[in-house]
Amino acid sequence: PSRFGRLLWSLPLKDRNQGILAGGLENGELILWDAESVLANNTQENPEAAIVFRSSSHTGTVAGMDFNNQQKHVLATGASQGEIFIWDLETPTKPYSPGPRSTKLEDITSLAWNNQVTHILASASTTGSTVIWDLKNRREVMHLHYGGGAQLAGYPGMATTRRGVTAVAWNPDNATQLVTASEDDSNPVVMMWDLRNAQAPERILSGHTKGVLSLSWCKKDADLLFSSGKDNRTICWNPSRGEMVGELAPSDNWVFDVQFNQHNPNLFSTSSFDGKVNVHSLQSTNEGEDVSRAAVNASQDDPFSAAIYSASAAASFSLKQPPKWYRRPVGASFGFGNQLVHFAPPSAATLASAANTGATVPHAVAVSSVVTDKSLLQRSQELEHALESNSINEFCEHRIRAADSELEAKNWQVLKLLFENDARDRLVRFLGFSKEELKDVVGAKLARQGGQVTKAEAVLPSVTSPVAASLNQSVEDMTLQDDD
């Protein structure tokens, strides 16, 4: 049997709950399997039972293949001599070409559908060119290439000869950005392109020591991009900053494929030419334990020490930045004085503007006031202003005039008195007390007990204060008791 050139697993389809397994073979065949039948082990006795479609339309190795992200039943395949076919899995017997065969393509190495614009397809080739297709108009709209042009654009490390592009991937958030991988061992780079200015790469990611073979851009976080290559390395990049944020322990052979899990982006797989398919997690929860345990168990004289440390390094893979799905998207907290602190992701307009200019979007924290009773807020602001401007008397007068009841007016009158210089005397008089009246009443009663009539006694009948009258009555009662 022929070997696989590419193998893909589609998302669930309306009549295929587990999706479709699509295999492109070296003999040019395209075979589609029902994934549910394969998982149910229905192919052990009859391997052909799970096959739902088979075609030999291609004339060479099917090395490029991709399912459309939005139209899940649409599949693109690419093979030798620039052959590209578009398949509708609902009617797979009628494939069609995206346009006239491009003269810039030879053997197709990779295909990728745009994540936002469903009819845009990118194709990579061994010629070193990447061609962009518009399926709506059935034509080639642009081609990207590196070489001498990149050197003139300020990348002196780029060779003037062209080497094949082994992989292409679109930015999941920006419809005009994509990355390509170079298989050239002398320039093993990942190039980021912007179709609005496609004369040269927008950014070049350098880290591999030999040719790059595979790319996978996380659809849940555009700041995570994996690349793998002939140097046995698998590197995680932040493409927006152009820096490495993580790396797996080197494999024993070339890592020819790396892929994010479509359902759980925390998981990703690597495939290498030593016959291994490994599944990894972006974050290890026991890295410290693994490393320390390896250090204890390993001995300087132990010939297997290197293997032990290698295993611990693989378990301790960790990113320098948290994945997007681990970050809290929004948050808020109340503070004193009706203050609300909150944060949220940037608006779509801000992100679009930053994407156009290439600027970094800052993370903003906003502080605002939350008002539930506007009248209460207004009164508190007026009081604060009166205290700051030393006009508390005018404020109290205003509140007295605006009082809704006599009791409220009297309360403000008392508060106003408390801010006077002679606040104590004024408050005593407001409550109905009078020092002079009390002095005269007491003096008159004392004089009367002594049989003397004083001036104070003469004015006693004119006392009108309720407090003085009460004292007057008390003194008279005391006098009568003494006479008895």
Residue-wise pLDDT tens digits, 98-108: 999 999 999 99
CB atoms inside a 10 Å sphere around CB 315:
18
Per-residue pLDDT at 471 exceeds 80: no
Output the CA–CA distances (angstroms, integers) from residue 42 to 10, 18, 23, 51, 198, in the order listed.
Answer: 19, 14, 18, 11, 49
Say which residue the tokens 């993580």 belong to: 246
Per-residue pLDDT at 151 exceeds 80: no
Confidence of residue 236 (pLDDT cuts 50, 70, 90): very high
Per-residue pLDDT tens digits for 155-185:
444 444 557 899 999 999 999 999 999 999 9
How high is the pLDDT of residue 48?
A: 80
What's the mean pLDDT in 212-234? 95
Confidence of residue 453 (pLDDT cuts 50, 70, 90): very low
Domain boundaries, the chain: 4-288+314-323, 435-483
What's the mean pLDDT in 110-130? 95
What's the mean pLDDT in 440-453? 72
Full-model pTM:
0.68
Question: Domain 4-288+314-323 is of which CATH architecture?
Answer: 7 Propeller (2.130)
How high is the pLDDT of residue 472?
A: 54
How high is the pLDDT of residue 95?
A: 94
- Rounded CA Rg of the chain: 43
Say which residue the tokens 């200019």 belong to: 357
How high is the pLDDT of residue 259?
A: 95
Per-residue pLDDT tens digits for 64-78:
999 999 999 999 999
User: For 158-167, 194-203, 441-450, which range has the lowest pLDDT when averaged over its residues?
Assistant: 158-167
